[in-house]
Amino acid sequence: MQQLKKVFTLFALLFLVIASIPIQASASSTLQTDLVDGLVTKSDRLTFDLFAKDAYGNKIEASEIEVLNNNQVVAINWDDKEKTSYTLNLELGINNISISHQSAKLNYQITREHANDGDVIGHFVFSLDAFTIGQGYLIEPIEVPIIKGRNAAQELDEILRNYRFSYKSTGTVESGFYLATIHGDQLFQKPVVVPDVLKMSLNGVYDETLYSEETGLGEFDINFMSGWMYSVNNVFPNVGFSDKYPLDGDVKR
């Protein structure tokens, strides 16, 4: 019993010693963007995403990060729990972009070449699909010219009209554009079927009959959280179509 008491006392003292050692959080942070260093473009606007995390993997507040273009502060476009988006107003010639948080820093050099509004300054790949409800492609992948001065909402508007779709939206193609519903004879050519993997994620909260061919396909159909989303190069932007500007080589879905 005496030996056991000694062991217990030693353990308790060891615990107190360990508990008294201060734990210092690492000051390191990680910054990652989808910008490309050395990019040459004729676009005068460029939206990019910043993923910033502290040493523990938590998102760093956007207010703690400095983003500069040629030493001028770049305003936040949109901020969420995963990433922060910024839109660069590119100057003709060299644009030196710096992003910093404490000791972490990223530097990019982007060159803007001259082009007039209306000029074709590149191409992107576009597709429209409803695979999540078994409808497949509504517009198979196509190559679309990028017109300087036009944003993604203006491009979307023209593509949908060219493929005989109509739509309802809020905002305008110039600002605050949100795609609510798409209408067209091409819709619902196949039975509505939610894939099994999605059914599991929805935990049974869906209804494959909850839609109307007359009102088209859009928000709240099948599931109360459904709606049209878009991705660019397999990333879902947190800005609307009217705040996104296509770059040459983009894949927009």
Dump pLDDT digits (tens) for 113-131.
999 999 999 999 999 999 9
Region of poorest pLDDT, from 3-7, 66-70, 220-224: 3-7
Q: Mean of the pLDDT values across residues 81-89?
A: 95
User: In the predicted model, is pLDDT for residue 31 greater than 60?
Assistant: yes
User: Do 176 and 170 touch, CB atoms closer than 8 A?
Assistant: yes
> Does pTM surpass 0.95?
no
User: In the predicted model, is pLDDT for residue 171 greater than 50?
Assistant: yes
Q: Mean of the pLDDT values across residues 179-199?
A: 94
pLDDT tens digits, residue range 199-245? 999 999 999 999 999 999 999 999 999 999 999 999 999 999 999 99
